[in-house]
Structure 1
Amino acid sequence: MVSRRTGLKAVAAGFIIALALGRPASAAVDIDGYRFDDSAKVAGKDLKLNGAGMRTKLVFKVYAAGLYLPEKKNNVPDILKQDGPRRVTLQMARDVSSEDFGKAFTDGLNDNVDKADKAKIASQISKLGAIFASVDGLKKGDVLHIDWIPGTGTVCELNGKKLGDTIPDLAFYNALLRIWLGDKPVDRSLKPALLGDAR
């Protein structure tokens, strides 16, 4: 005869299994406590999480980053020529001043975009600088989306609020992607994570 306690355990185990089976097949990715959903909707299109990882500087966590694409790719040239919208999501792991954040982006562009290509997007880099200058720093827990929307341009959104003007050139967005995916990425362990090779 089954004891009452054994029966309760069986019921509890069945309930847990039912809950697990009821969850979506694609669970979110967790990067040191920062959650990235497996998909995101940008400009009405469903994008897939290509990869995610943590940006560190020295021993400090700066932000968790996720890259969303129409189709998963682990090759940088393929990512840069993909059609459709794209998204980079940054979840801040510490407070960063707008000056430091803007400088990090500028340094990343300088390291990964040659002078000729940079000259072509100079005015757009200035627009990005103005966007960062309009923000009174980034706080731990802030979420920044940097989206490419075909026919519109680069759109930055902080905690659900659009920042500054739209920046129209695809070459500019690809230059931004090179900050993380270029030959001299801002964080050498983050690049393979965004490419889906590591987590």
Structure 2
Amino acid sequence: MRNHVWRTGARWLVLGLVLAVGSAQAGQKQVGGVNMPDSLTLQGRTIALAHMQLHKRLFFKVYVWSLYLEEQPRSATEAIASNSVKRLHFRFLRNISRDQLVGSLRAGLQKNPDLRQGPMADQLQVMLASLKDVQKGEDLVITYMPGAGLEIAGGASGGAFIPGKNFADALFSVWLEANPIFPR
């Protein structure tokens, strides 16, 4: 009888722990050991986690990136054209030098010809100049706010702001083309 009571109590304890851990994880998604919330509120606007992915270089885990969108588009073109809140959030899983970070971003973003010359090339330089050496666990957060512009923040950046939508559209265009998440 005593053994039965002990087992029943142990079962309830295990069930309680499972429920507690499950509710602590509710509202989050995990990829590559990184937890990100399912949604965020920025200036009274809610953005939802649309995609999350681990990026590796050879066999090294480099970062996990997340895309948050205020609207749920059907295509990359719709996502870019939408004048709604968009956020790219990078969580670094290893130390990265400023030179490595700048070189990698420059190489990727300059696939868009608009970012190679003219005013947007200058805006790209503003963004790249804000970047710093990154320590494992730090973030780079790139957020477009309608009617304002693109904010670059997080531990990987000294902070920068690029007004308007054109540069943000070019950046998100390159990213979503290189990392397709919508059906083609």
Tell me the equivalent position of 2:60: 60
Tell me the equivalent position of 1:124: 123
Give the distance between the partners of 1:129 and 1:6, measured in 2 at CA.
60
Tell me which amino acid in the other structure corresponds to 1:154. Answer: L
Give the distance between the partners of 1:36 and 1:196, measured in 2 at CA.
20
Aligned pair partner of 1:154 in 147, 150, 153: 150
- Percent identity reads 21
- 1:27-80 Cα shifts (integer Å, max 9, x gaps): 311111011110112232110000000112222221100000012335110110
Tell me which amino acid in the other structure corresponds to 1:4. Answer: V
**Contact 1:85 1:149 survives alignment (8 Å):** yes
Residue 46 in structure 1 maps to residue 41 in structure 2: no
Which one has more relative contact order, counting CA pairs under 8 Å at least 6 apart?
A: 1
Give the distance between the partners of 1:71 and 1:164, measured in 2 at CA.
26
DSSP 3-state at the match of 1:35: strand
Tell me the equivalent position of 1:8: 9
- 1:77-105 Cα shifts (integer Å, max 9, x gaps): 01101222111100001111111111111
TM-score (norm 1): 0.78
Give the distance between the partners of 1:196 and 1:49, measured in 2 at CA.
14
Tell me the equivalent position of 2:169: 174
Report the aligned-residue RMSD.
Answer: 2.7
User: Number of aligned pairs?
Assistant: 182
**Contact 1:155 1:162 survives alignment (8 Å):** no
Q: 1:7: how far off? A: 2.8
Tell me the equivalent position of 1:76: 76
- What residue ranges of structure 2 are gaps of 5+ in the alignment? none
